[in-house]
Structure 1
């Protein structure tokens, strides 16, 4: 996406500055809205519930065929099964994602119920995530305020310890960035499970954390029961698929917000339209965009009107 109309200074370090030449102004939010067909803003609760049920049916079918896959194809088949289960768990997350934005339906109570139904089984506390994700949308591409998707300057990177500097080089790091690093440990904006983390600022938010986190815990306990109270089976058949779901989340999010042309703005140069214009649509093909409810190839429009346009 093109840089803003004003001259922008990008600080790669304290010694290096690059001046980007000005280009024409971006359209206003109203101009962008007028260019989008009106039907894209229509919320359909029945259609949304259909997608919610569809994702649960697909995941149920994947678990139904698991013994056959594992029996005939062993660990190779299991890895393929993990890949697709992680993908469709991400699809389920996308439905809950729309609940969090209020684009699932016109009813807050229905959004909250269905959001918890979608997110609790995949150990994503709905209300805490709703808050942290809202902050990302409000300050997309702001160098200091985009907490959920933090931007790291060269000086910030140099100040990090060895593990933080080199973790991204670890080939399997993407499997751990969502859960446990982001949701449990709370890096960078606070744990989504601990009610006294820095993510929450009042009693209402802490109670919501307990409710959403408690529902996740209940789902984990049910899964443990279904695994015959075997830690090995619980990890193999429940937690590892969630690590693959986390990998899909990290991959999708990275591709939505990373490109060599993306601009990041400081306070005083950032505004809402500039920030949202730094998002990217990615076309995966092979039916994946539809399976993922178009969170991949419809992300730019979603960022501009995140409470209005369902995926």
Structure 2
């Protein structure tokens, strides 16, 4: 039986769920089989040809946008040139994020029944976006296997009270917060958001920022760090080689077309892709209404349910291949192709009932809410919610 205490527990003693009780949070008790049985069997079928049509769709739009952009600098109006370049950067970033999502599906073996096709396509698509394909595939698999787990999840792991240097709750004069009015000022928030959205993804790849605190240089470019198992070393090297090949290609294009052209045609859209990636993943797993679990409470299906579906509007959902508004389905069944996820979500929603989470809050408002209220969790307890 669950108990209410102020100290850590062992499995023999039973889980400590003080915060779950305080917030009227019901820990779900369903099985993966129950959820899977609620979804039509065809939703799990992978169709290689159909998957490739999405690659061709996205690549065709990217090439068309790039070709059209070659005419921008020939226009006489400077304001018009700026407006059209801005449109190009935003549009290319949106479509490029869709390419990133397809590469991510390859990493989950959701693109095709063939492992060779999955890894071949994923390697190409992610390398062209400067993502170390296998390295990220391995760490992302760990994230899926331990979503919402305080000590095993791999990304957007909450800071604890102790890690932020805050006093223990019982002696903290500010209690559950807020703890810093300065950090909530508009200027500070804007600065920190810009830092996260511009540098967050590269820093995660290079230094595992927001991930688990592994010893030494934990990096997607270090095959010998604790992110990876010993049998994954060679594929991490392949990932690095893929990035080096892309960097070499970009360097060559810079010499042929000029550095400014590469910045306008590739670098700025690349930054927009990173922005969407960080925003989407942050809001999928960071919300004041969702807890994190420790070992005594966590299991796979409970962790998978610690995910929020959000819609970014028809256009963005379409070009992002519904990675945001069907993410709960993706976490339960990551080998399910994205083109079946909308249908599967209808059935998952019914099967999960009140444990299915969809937040209709407008994205800017949801970002500000999560940013201001999701700073840390308590060091103790088996169900912990964000505090500020």
TM-score, length of structure 2 as denominator length: 0.69
**How far apart, in 2, do the equivalents of 1:235 and 1:184 lie?**
22
Pair 155,109 (structure 1): closer, same or farther in 2 beyond 3 Å: same
Q: Select which of 213, 228, 235 maps to 1:208.
A: 235
CA contact (8 A) 1:227 1:234 kept: yes
Out of 19-28 and 82-91, give the one that drifted further. 19-28
- Counterpart contact for 2:310–2:325, Cα < 8 Å: yes
The question of whether the paired residues in 2 share the 8 Å contact of 1:52 and 1:118 is answered with: no
1:27 and 2:25 are equivalent in the alignment: no
Is the 2:107–2:137 Cα contact (8 Å) retained in structure 1? Answer: yes
Out of 79-88 and 47-56, give the one that drifted further. 79-88
**2:205 matched to 1:177?**
no
Is the 8 Å Cα contact of residues 156 and 286 (structure 2) preserved in structure 1?
A: no
4+ runs deviating over 6 angstroms: 7-11, 165-168
**Which is further off, 285-294 or 182-191?**
182-191
**Does the residue aligned with 2:84 lie in a helix, a strand or coil?**
helix
Contact 1:192 1:209 in 2 (8 A): yes
Unpaired runs of at least 5, structure 1: 12-16, 160-164
Where structure 2 has 5 or more consecutive residues not aligned to the other structure, the ranges are 8-17, 167-182, 213-217, 340-388
Aligned to 2:99: 92
Give the match for residue 143 of structure 2: 136
Cα pair distance change 1:221/1:260, threshold 3 Å: same
Aligned position for 1:37:
40
Q: Which moved more, 1:216-225 or 1:70-79?
A: 70-79
Q: Which residue of 2 aligns with 1:162?
A: none
Q: Secondary structure at the match of 2:163?
A: helix
Q: CA deviation at 1:184?
A: 2.7
Partner of 2:171: none
2:371 corresponds to: none
Q: In 2, Cα distance between the equivalents of 1:7 and 1:127? A: 42
1:81-112: CA deviation from partner (whole Å, max 9, x where unpaired): 22221111110011111111111111111111
Higher relative contact order (CA 8 A, sep 6+): 2
Deviation for aligned residue 1:77: 2.9
Instruction: Return closer, same or farther for 1:103/1:84 CA change in 2, 3 Å cut-off.
Output: same
Match of 1:217 among 244, 248, 258: 244
Match of 2:112 among 73, 95, 105: 105
> Structure 1 length as normaliser, TM-score?
0.85
Query: 1:7-32, CA deviations, whole angstroms, 9 ceiling, x for partnerless residues?
Result: 68899xxxxx6443463744321111
**Aligned residues between the structures:** 295
